[in-house]
Structure 1
């Protein structure tokens, strides 16, 4: 598979397992900043999040072939997810993704604020059409989180897609309204629950040579991820 990075896709568009920082917590079980799970060595292909991973948007090499793979579940409405992507993910991309040493796979996992659910559906509908537009829209949600709520998120998304991509923005929103993309979001929620992500985002899973090393809850630092991935 051709190596892809956020930079090339977007063009001009805008310590250890126990060390975690607070994440966003949804209205269910779980607690902010809970410790990551220790390694159990399960193969990525056999992990709950590996079942449909080939369909996930990712930065860098094939997640199943990369020396190290970070699988990230995040909610577009979660402020800690925004911080994680704007800080840690950006640094990891610059240092390891572009060299082919790391693959980062991401999937919307809406468990925090209510507007994150329709946003996740819009992201999936966008991904079905164009992966570059998916990354651009995800960055837009993170950059402008304070401007969204359940009443305006789809209208604002349609306007932004129309102004900033070549997609049929109305068709993307039609897919959300018709629930055409619901099964994809539900599959991620089910896989995340099975994997132990609970209601805290971002939830990240570190694999080295195709085997799970640890899970990390919250907006952890670049050095923490480096340690988890033996980078």
Structure 2
């Protein structure tokens, strides 16, 4: 698939980081700043088309607190963030309707993350539950994937673990429609100031941006940002 100018810019930054073993992922995490604090989710770059992406909990535009997460299936810190912080937040707040968590794949780290993001996107109109299961699979088995095998391994996993037409999902992942949606997230992330950092997390309270956070931040950090607990 052909890289757009936006995609090439992100890959250039990520490639430099990868050369020293960072590959776009950041460490322990911290605030990315609150220069845009006060912006409504509906007016924020990441609010555009957000209703078309999977989310946990109530409607992100109506929830008391909303977390919008940009992550890359190939990012080690994203895996840590989901397996720990996101899991804890889901258990404590999502079921009670206090928090919505929306995730948009943002492939700026290792090269296999881009086709993986497209495959994730292709599952959404078929079964959003598969989106979450496949994302968990990527995070759990990151060492097993590379650009040469991500499509075949994903097709095998889909065939063995879901009722979807796995071959059709892979075909759709290579389509212009899938590409355009991922490119839209890359552009929105750039406009929001995420750059090549993953995970990049944006905390909204009552529909208004409070702050953004970089890296695999703790549950307590997110709770404080979202005024939870």
Return the TM-score normalized by structure 1.
0.86
CA offsets, 1:100-137, max 9 Å, x none? 00000001000000000000000000112110010000
Partner of 1:121, secondary structure, is helix
Q: Distance in 1 between matches of 2:70 and 2:94?
A: 18
Task: Check whether the contact 1:28–1:199 (CA below 8 A) recurs between aligned residues.
Answer: no
Segment drifting more, 176-185 vs 71-80: 176-185
Unaligned runs of 5+ in 2: 1-12, 18-23
Q: Residues 129, 28 of structure 1: CA spacing in aligned structure 2 closer, same or farther, 3 A cutoff?
A: farther
Q: Residues 31, 122 of structure 1: CA spacing in aligned structure 2 closer, same or farther, 3 A cutoff?
A: closer
Q: Distance in 1 between matches of 2:42 and 2:16?
A: 28
Per residue, is there more helix in 1 or in 2?
A: 2
Report the count of equivalent residues. Answer: 207
Partner of 2:33, secondary structure, is coil
Confirm whether residue 218 of structure 1 aligns to residue 209 of structure 2.
Answer: no
Q: Distance in 1 between matches of 2:216 and 2:81?
A: 5
Task: Check whether the contact 1:27–1:199 (CA below 8 A) recurs between aligned residues.
Answer: no
Q: Residues 77, 31 of structure 1: CA spacing in aligned structure 2 closer, same or farther, 3 A cutoff?
A: closer
Residue aligning to 2:117: 120
Aligned pairs for 1:108-147 within 5 A:
108-147=105-144
Confirm whether residue 61 of structure 1 aligns to residue 58 of structure 2.
Answer: yes
Q: Distance in 2 between matches of 1:117 and 1:56?
A: 17
Q: Distance in 2 between matches of 1:196 and 1:118?
A: 23
Segment drifting more, 178-187 vs 143-152: 178-187
Confirm whether residue 26 of structure 1 aligns to residue 22 of structure 2.
Answer: no
Partner of 1:26, secondary structure, is helix
Cα RMSD after superposing both structures: 1.6
Partner of 1:106, secondary structure, is strand
Task: Check whether the contact 1:214–1:228 (CA below 8 A) recurs between aligned residues.
Answer: yes
Q: Distance in 1 between matches of 2:47 and 2:107?
A: 19
Unaligned runs of 5+ in 1: 1-24
Residue aligning to 1:9: none
Q: Distance in 2 between matches of 1:93 and 1:174?
A: 32
Q: Distance in 1 between matches of 2:158 and 2:176?
A: 19
Q: Distance in 1 between matches of 2:125 and 2:172?
A: 10
- The CA deviation at 1:40 is 1.9
Residue aligning to 1:206: 203
Residue aligning to 2:7: none
Return the TM-score normalized by structure 2.
0.87
CA offsets, 1:47-84, max 9 Å, x none? 00001111110000000010000000000000000000
Q: Distance in 1 between matches of 2:61 and 2:107?
A: 25
Q: Distance in 1 between matches of 2:182 and 2:123?
A: 13
Confirm whether residue 78 of structure 1 aligns to residue 48 of structure 2.
Answer: no
